[in-house]
Structure formats: structure tokens, C-alpha cells
């Protein structure tokens, strides 16, 4: 080896690693090790990382040319060789088997002879003041004598490579930590949004108003199931208060310290439901510019409320079933399974039995969520609760509006009790809010507020004794449809006026036998 060859080599590799991107370091190390074989006229060069726990050294990279075999791991029999490196001493053997000291032992000599190794120099390297790795070069064609200059030069080369590889490791770990921080940040931001939304929602039984027998049965069921982790299915028409019951179940469970995350499956575009539930990785689809945490991850150790679960596609139903059965899911764009511990409360206004018969809802998912069903009665089946609800909404809304209402006429209250309320409690709340806006003085007057929904609505005293609730509801829906030209969907049309989902209105029309003339 000549001085110019060595000097050029060190200059070249030193310059080649300056400012080198981390993803190009591995290829540059390979090139440097191959050049090292030419400069030192050896047959194998290996860069080791020493195991900090005392195990065999780890091979990071190597360059080999015949007749040298590739390195496949240092046998545990090479105890003397490893002990010398671990205490920071260079191993330089011109005649490997002959130059090994007596403490090396016969087994170590036999192992060296078996590989065909003739000469070796291995130098331990320090990074940040700690013994971290080793660079070795070996000859398999002819014995080779090593000089102190050879040792110093090998250390210089090793330090250049070591610093480059450890810079790559540090940058890789930093990127991983930054990605983890970004994921945590995204999760916390998303959780804060959910928690802010939940802070506006009702808690416990505070806003579940009424003392009817029908509502009482529901609240008994809630009290019984809440302390368990059992999946609950809330069944009932739109606007009956299923979300309030989900709040009450969560608040009375052991999961109360953790989030209650709500998802309205019907309000999310079908293409985005999977991402909303399970999250997605950056670049998973067009528009996925950043990683997003899904609602199931946000609800970990807490409760997830899946409203209108009957609107999920069959494909999503299968993925939801996996979460319920195994507690596992995958983000969109990822193949890594993630585990969560989530209690599920589902709700729907649809007839799931019929949906199963028509192939629109999976039978196995139905039986998985139908562990503890609770039927939520419509407002027309608990009419005795209407006066309490009316005053509840009056007091709640007048505070927000800065109004003061103290009375409501007996006739108007009777009209409210007699009305069928196809939109249930939600529809009643809307009527009271409109009445507060339109009323003047201390008396709440329905007037236009009620006429918007019920142009012809008999009062309690005007309803014939043989008029059933279905007849009252039928006539009201028929009147609204007639006024809208029998159009169900669209702005200002029947479904919107009645505060119903169009599919719910069509279903009620079918049940009540309402047909367009």
C-alpha cells in the first residue's frame, strides 16, 4: 500500500460523506468498503456494531471478494477475539492461527482455520466517548503483516464510516420521533375537537325529561346495562333522544373518565366513512395530505356511539364486525393492525330485521350489536311527557334568547299534546324555539310556529273519541304532503318540514297506507 493511494482514499471518503443525504449513506459505505479492499489488498472488510448487552457483534455492512466467505455472524467460540475488542484493544494477526495467544484456546483456533482466514486486523471505534463498533479487514489469499500505520489508517477510515452511519441512525430516529409527535399532536387535536363537541352535549339524565311509564322502562334498562361493557343497540325513530341515552350509558359506566366519541354514519359521505372510523395514512388517497386518527382510536378505553348504523355499506359492516370481535382495525393505506379497547353503543331508526332479509345488513353484525337492545318510544307514545318537555325547552331557549315567558294557553298545550310528532322530541324543540321567536310578551303563542308543521291539527278537545294516534299522524302527514305537491325530498319539502329522514317518511307512509292521489 502506497501513501498516495491511502491519502487519496481517505480524502475521497471523507469528502463523499460530507452533506450526504441519509438515504444515500448505505450505498456510500458499500463503495468505501470495496475501495478499502483495494487499498489494503485484503479480501473482506466488515463494519460491526458491538452489542451493548454483551452478545455477539452485529454485522452492519461488509464487502467480500473470492476466496473470502461472507460474514454470517461471529461464533460464540471466538471468546478471546471478542474480549479484546470489548476492552478497546486492536486485534492484529499476521498468521491468524499461529499468532493467537494461549488463552484463545483450541476451539477458537479451529474455528479460524475452518473459515480459511490467514490474516486479520480489527480496530475498535469509539462514538461519543463510548466503545460502539469495529472495522475489520481480512486476508484469505496470503498472510499479511500489519504495521502501526495500518492500524491508524484503518481507525481513520472506520471513524469516517462510523460517524456517517450513526448520523443516519440519529436522523432516522429523529424522523421517527417527529412522526410519533405529529401523530400524537393530530390525535390530541382530534380528541380536543371531539371533547369540545361533547362538552356541548347533554350528560347523564339531565336532559332526558319526562315521567311517563314508557320512558321509565327505558331509563331502568339504561341503569342496568350502563355499568357493564355490553354492546347496546338503541332502536327508535329519528328525534326520540337516542343520543341522550348514549350519553347516559357512558356517564354511568366505568369508562366515564375516557372519551365518548360520536359518529353519525348517515351524515358522512360513503367514500369517507372508513377514513372517519379507522383513520388514514398520509397519501392513502387523493386529498389525504396528512395522517388522520380515526374515531375508534380516539375512543380507546372509552365509548363510541355509532348513530344510524343501519346506513353503513356492507363492506364497512364487515370491517366494523372485525373491530367488535377482535378489537383490531387498519387505517386506510396501512397494513398494520391496531388494537383498541372500545365499548360500542349503536343506534338506528331502520328496521334491521327487514334489512337483513333484503341483504342490506349483515346477519353476523346484527347479532353482535343486538346484545342488549333498548327500544326508545316515540313522543306520541308518551304524550303525558309533552308539557314537561315544553317547559324544559322554553326555559332552555329563553335563557339563550334573553326572553321571559311565564304562561302558555291551555288550548295551545292541548294542541301540542294531541299532535302526532313524527319528528318526535327534536321536532317539538324546533316548534318551541320558533314560537319563542314569534311570540311577544310573557305568553308563549304557537300561532305560525305550529302552523308551519301542522296546517290542520285538531286540538285534544276536537279529536273524535275513536280517532287513533295513527289516524292523527296519517292526516297530518297527508296534509303536509299535499301542501308540498307530494314531494318528499328537497328544500322546503315534506321530509324537511316534518324533520324526518326521507327514508323514514317513506317508511311511515307505507305503514300508514298513505298514497299519492
pLDDT in tens, 394-441: 888 888 888 888 888 888 888 888 888 988 999 999 888 888 888 888
Q: Is 180 contained in some domain?
A: no
pLDDT at 450: 66
Which of helix, strand or coil describes residue 370?
coil
Which residues are CB-contacts of 358 (< 8 A; sequence separation ≥ 6)? none
What is the overall mean pLDDT for the chain?
82
Residues 108 and 247 in one domain: no
Residues 373 and 482 in one domain: no
pLDDT digit string (tens) for 92-126? Answer: 999 988 888 888 888 888 888 888 999 999 999 88
pLDDT at 464: 43
Residues 217 and 318 in one domain: yes
Please give the angle made by the CA atoms of 321, 323 and 327, to the nearest 5 degrees: 140
What residue spans of 3-143 are helical by DSSP H? 3-17, 25-40, 79-86, 96-99, 106-115
Report the distance separating Cα 98 and Cα 474, nearest Å: 106
Q: If you average pLDDT over residues 254-277, what whole number do you get?
A: 88
Domain end point (choices 343, 377, 411): 377
Q: Which CATH number characterizes residue 496's domain?
A: 1.10.8.60
Q: Which of 1, 375, 4, 377 is closest to 212 using CA atoms? A: 377
Q: If you average pLDDT over residues 164-187, what whole number do you get?
A: 74
| Total domain count, the chain | 3
Q: If you average pLDDT over residues 39-50, what whole number do you get?
A: 87
Q: Which of 260, 303, 258, 300 is closest to 279 using CA atoms? A: 300
Q: Where are the beta strands (DSSP E) in 244-384?
A: 260-264, 279-280, 292-293, 303-307, 328-330, 337-339, 343-348, 372-375
pLDDT at 362: 94
Please name the residue that has the C-alpha cell 475452518. Answer: 114
Please name the residue that has the C-alpha cell 359521505. Answer: 269
Residue 510 has pLDDT above 90, yes or no: no
Report the distance separating Cα 137 and Cα 498, nearest Å: 85
Contacts 24+ apart (CB under 8 A), 380-386: 380/420, 380/421, 380/469, 380/473, 381/214, 381/469, 382/210, 382/212, 382/213, 382/214, 382/215, 383/417, 384/210, 384/211, 384/212, 385/209, 385/210, 385/211, 385/212, 385/215, 386/413, 386/416, 386/417, 386/428
Report the distance separating Cα 339 and Cα 330, nearest Å: 9
Q: Is 185 contained in some domain?
A: no
pLDDT at 58: 66
Domain end point (choices 357, 377, 397): 377
Q: How confident is the model at residue 233 (pLDDT cuts 50, 70, 90)?
A: very high
Residues 363 and 384 in one domain: no
Domain end point (choices 377, 409, 433): 377
Residues 365 and 228 in one domain: yes
Residues 211 and 334 in one domain: yes
The x, y and z cell numbers of residue 206, run together, are 339531565
Phi-psi sector, 128: left (phi>0), alpha (psi -120 to 50), beta: left
Residues 371 and 263 in one domain: yes
Report the distance separating Cα 310 and Cα 315, nearest Å: 13
- Contact between 27 and 5 under an 8 Å Cβ cutoff? The reply is no
Q: Is 67 contained in some domain?
A: yes
Q: If you average pLDDT over residues 132-161, what whole number do you get?
A: 88
Range in 39-53, 132-146, 264-278, 456-470 the model is least confident about: 456-470
Q: Which CATH number characterizes residue 306's domain?
A: 3.40.50.300
Q: How confident is the model at residue 4 (pLDDT cuts 50, 70, 90)?
A: very low
Whether pTM exceeds 0.75: no
Q: Is 162 contained in some domain?
A: yes
Report the distance separating Cα 322 and Cα 378, nearest Å: 33
Which of helix, strand or coil describes residue 42?
coil
Which residues are CB-contacts of 182 (< 8 A; sequence separation ≥ 6)? 291
Report the distance separating Cα 17 and Cα 284, nearest Å: 34
Report the distance separating Cα 223 and Cα 226, nearest Å: 6
Q: Is 277 contained in some domain?
A: yes
Q: Which CATH number characterizes residue 64's domain?
A: 3.30.450.40
- In terms of average pLDDT, the best of 382-391, 399-408, 441-450 is 382-391
Q: How confident is the model at residue 458 (pLDDT cuts 50, 70, 90)?
A: very low
Residues 385 and 370 in one domain: no
Helix axes 410-418, 386-401, angle to 10 degrees: 110
Range in 64-78, 332-346, 443-457 the model is least confident about: 443-457
Range in 68-82, 355-369, 449-463 the model is least confident about: 449-463
Residue 85 has pLDDT above 70, yes or no: yes
Q: Is 186 contained in some domain?
A: no
Question: How many CB atoms are located within 10 Å of the residue 90 CB?
Answer: 19
- In terms of average pLDDT, the best of 5-14, 203-212, 218-227, 452-461 is 218-227
pLDDT at 370: 92
- Contact between 299 and 340 under an 8 Å Cβ cutoff? The reply is yes
Q: Is 26 contained in some domain?
A: yes
Residues 397 and 500 in one domain: yes
Neighbour-count burial of 469, counting CB atoms closer than 10 A to its CB (0-12 exposed, 13-18 middle, 19+ buried): middle
Q: If you average pLDDT over residues 149-178, what whole number do you get?
A: 81
Q: Is 190 contained in some domain?
A: no
Report the distance separating Cα 33 and Cα 165, nearest Å: 13
Q: How confident is the model at residue 469 (pLDDT cuts 50, 70, 90)?
A: low
Q: If you average pLDDT over residues 264-271, what whole number do you get?
A: 85
Residues 266 and 221 in one domain: yes
User: Domain residues for 11?
Assistant: 3-172
- In terms of average pLDDT, the best of 258-262, 283-287, 511-515 is 258-262
Residues 473 and 494 in one domain: yes
Looking only at the bridges linking them, the beta strands covering 328-330 and 119-127 are unpaired
Residues 419 and 479 in one domain: yes
Q: If you average pLDDT over residues 357-378, what whole number do you get?
A: 93
Exposure b/e, 300-337, CB count within 10 A at least 16 = b: bebbbbbbbbbbbeeebbebbbebbeeeebbbbeeeee
- In terms of average pLDDT, the best of 1-10, 218-227, 501-510 is 218-227
Looking only at the bridges linking them, the beta strands covering 260-264 and 303-307 are parallel
Which residues are CB-contacts of 170 (< 8 A; sequence separation ≥ 6)? none
Range in 116-125, 376-385, 470-479, 505-514 the model is least confident about: 470-479
Report the distance separating Cα 243 and Cα 201, nearest Å: 9
Q: How confident is the model at residue 149 (pLDDT cuts 50, 70, 90)?
A: confident
Amino acid at each position: 500500500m502506497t501513501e498516495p493511494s491511502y491519502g487519496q482514499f481517505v480524502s475521497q471518503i471523507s469528502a463523499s460523506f460530507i452533506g450526504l443525504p441519509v438515504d444515500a449513506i448505505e450505498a456510500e459505505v458499500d463503495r468505501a468498503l470495496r475501495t478499502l479492499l483495494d487499498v489494503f489488498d485484503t479480501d473482506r472488510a466488515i463494519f460491526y456494531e458491538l452489542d451493548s448487552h454483551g452478545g455477539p457483534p452485529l454485522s452492519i455492512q461488509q464487502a467480500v471478494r473470492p476466496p473470502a466467505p461472507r460474514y454470517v455472524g461471529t461464533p460464540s467460540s471466538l471468546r478471546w477475539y471478542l474480549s479484546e475488542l470489548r476492552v478497546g484493544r486492536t486485534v492484529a494477526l499476521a498468521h491468524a492461527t499461529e499468532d493467537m495467544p494461549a488463552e484463545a484456546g483450541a476451539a477458537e483456533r479451529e474455528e479460524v482455520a475452518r473459515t480459511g482466514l490467514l490474516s486479520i486486523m480489527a480496530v475498535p471505534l469509539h462514538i461519543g466517548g463510548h466503545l460502539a463498533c469495529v472495522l475489520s479487514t481480512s486476508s484469505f489469499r496470503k498472510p499479511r503483516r500489519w504495521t502501526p500505520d495500518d492500524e491508524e489508517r484503518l481507525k481513520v477510515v472506520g471513524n469516517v464510516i462510523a460517524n456517517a452511519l450513526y448520523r443516519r441512525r440519529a436522523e432516522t430516529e429523529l424522523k421517527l420521533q417527529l412522526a410519533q409527535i405529529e401523530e400524537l399532536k393530530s390525535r390530541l387535536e382530534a380528541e380536543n375537537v371531539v371533547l369540545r363537541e361533547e362538552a356541548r352535549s347533554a350528560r347523564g339524565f339531565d336532559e332526558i325529561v319526562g315521567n311517563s311509564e314508557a320512558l321509565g322502562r327505558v331509563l331502568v334498562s339504561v341503569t342496568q346495562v350502563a355499568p357493564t361493557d355490553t354492546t347496546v343497540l338503541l332502536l327508535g325513530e329519528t328525534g326520540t333522544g337516542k343520543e341522550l341515552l348514549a350519553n347516559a350509558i357512558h356517564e354511568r359506566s366505568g369508562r366515564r373518565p375516557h372519551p365518548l366519541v360520536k359518529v353519525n354514519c348517515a351524515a358522512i359521505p360513503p367514500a369517507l366513512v372508513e377514513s372517519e372510523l379507522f383513520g388514514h395514512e398520509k397519501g392513502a388517497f387523493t386529498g389525504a395530505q396528512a395522517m388522520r386518527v380515526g374515531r375508534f382510536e380516539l375512543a380507546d378505553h372509552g365509548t363510541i356511539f355509532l348513530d344510524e348504523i343501519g346506513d353503513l355499506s356492507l363492506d364497512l359492516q364487515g370491517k366494523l364486525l372485525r373491530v367488535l370481535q377482535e378489537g383490531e382495525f387498519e387505517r386506510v393505506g396501512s397494513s398494520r393492525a391496531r388494537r383498541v379497547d372500545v365499548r360500542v353503543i349503536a343506534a338506528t331508526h331502520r328496521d334491521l330485521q327487514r334489512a337483513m332479509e333484503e341483504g342490506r345488513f349483515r346477519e353476523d353484525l346484527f347479532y353482535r350489536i343486538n346484545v342488549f337492545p333498548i327500544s326508545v318510544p316515540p313522543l306520541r307514545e308518551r304524550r303525558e311527557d309533552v308539557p314537561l318537555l315544553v317547559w324544559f325547552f322554553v326555559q332552555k331557549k329563553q335563557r339563550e334568547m334573553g326572553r321571559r315567558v311565564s304562561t302558555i294557553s291551555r288550548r295551545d298545550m292541548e294542541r301540542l299534546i294531541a299532535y302526532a310528532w313524527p319528528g318526535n322530541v327534536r321536532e317539538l324543540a324546533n316548534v318551541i324555539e320558533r314560537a319563542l321567536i314569534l311570540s311577544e310578551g310573557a305568553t308563549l303563542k304557537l300561532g305560525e310556529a305550529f302552523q308551519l308543521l301542522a296546517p290542520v291539527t285538531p286540538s285534544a278537545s276536537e279529536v273524535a273519541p275513536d280517532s287513533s294516534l295513527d289516524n292523527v299522524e296519517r292526516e297530518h302527514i297527508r296534509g303536509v304532503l299535499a301542501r308540498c305537491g307530494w314531494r318528499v325530498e328537497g328544500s322546503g319539502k315534506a321530509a324537511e318540514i316534518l324533520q324526518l329522514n326521507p327514508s323514514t317518511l317513506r317508511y311511515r307512509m307505507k305503514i300508514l297506507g298513505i298514497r299519492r292521489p
